[in-house]
Amino acid sequence: MKFFVDTAEIEPIRELAATGLLDGVTTNPSLIAKSGRDFMEVTREICGIVDGPVSAEVVALDHATMMKEAEVLRKIADNVCIKVPLTVDGLKTCKALTGEGTMVNVTLCFSSNQALLAAKAGASFISPFVGRHDDNGFDGMDLIEDIRLIYDNYNFATEILVASVRHVTHVLQAAKIGADVMTAPPKVIHDLFKHVLTDKGIEGFLADWAKTGQSIL
């Protein structure tokens, strides 16, 4: 499963990219606003840090203006992935852009029917929001299972990008289901490293090493 980080903050992206585990980045207008930086500038900088897809979202709601915004965004770098909402105009834009060879991430997916439409429109990625689904009394992972089944039934090339990931259990469940990608805040990715027995093991090894009085360097 590919790991994307969901942030517009540069330092966490650099740190995760240095591990070699980061496959891409997702941003949205809310994350850009939180960063307090210029949209174009921060997107360009992110694209220079990671080789994989960097999702940059259009803000227009009509197809014609979405296409104009996409034209500006995709000139930032070759690895820009245009992010569009799951609306009629969003999918029209998706179809047009993917037909031109541009990566498209269709976002704000909350049903398997919506995911089916996005795949038929040629989406590179579909972003079902599991955390927000959970917030509204549904099981977000049931949605991922349904989408996986539908996509496998018809051999759709669209990658399932699990979004709105809140905790490490979401990551584990997505991987067990067979999602192609997950995107999570930096904290969730760092939490994947943590285990109390790992910490205790390191503590014990260091204590025993200190008793030897030796040094590697």
Instruction: Note the pLDDT tens digit of each residue in 11-48.
Output: 999 999 999 999 999 999 899 998 999 999 999 999 99
**CATH fold of 2-192, please?**
TIM Barrel (3.20.20)
Mean pLDDT of 157-173: 97
More confident residue, 134 or 73: 73
Is residue 137 scored above 90 in pLDDT? no
Is residue 4 scored above 90 in pLDDT? yes
Domain map of the chain by residue range?
A: 2-192
The residue from 2, 75, 83, 95 that is catalytic is 83
pLDDT, residue 131, reads 94
Instruction: Note the pLDDT tens digit of each residue in 66-115.
Output: 999 999 999 999 999 999 999 999 999 999 999 999 999 999 999 999 99
Using a pLDDT cut of 70, give the percent of the chain over it: 100
Mean pLDDT of 43-69: 97
**187 among known catalytic residues:** no
pLDDT, residue 134, reads 87
The 3-state secondary structure of the chain, one letter per residue: CEEEEECCCHHHHHHHHHCCCCCEEECCHHHHHHHCCCHHHHHHHHHHHCCCCEEEECCCCCHHHHHHHHHHHCCCCCCEEEEEECCHHHHHHHHHHHHCCCCEEEEEECCHHHHHHHHHCCCCEEEEEHHHHHHCCCCHHHHHHHHHHHHHHHCCCCEEEEECCCCHHHHHHHHHHCCCEEEECHHHHHHCCCCHHHHHHHHHHHHHHHHHCCCCC
Mean pLDDT of 167-181: 98
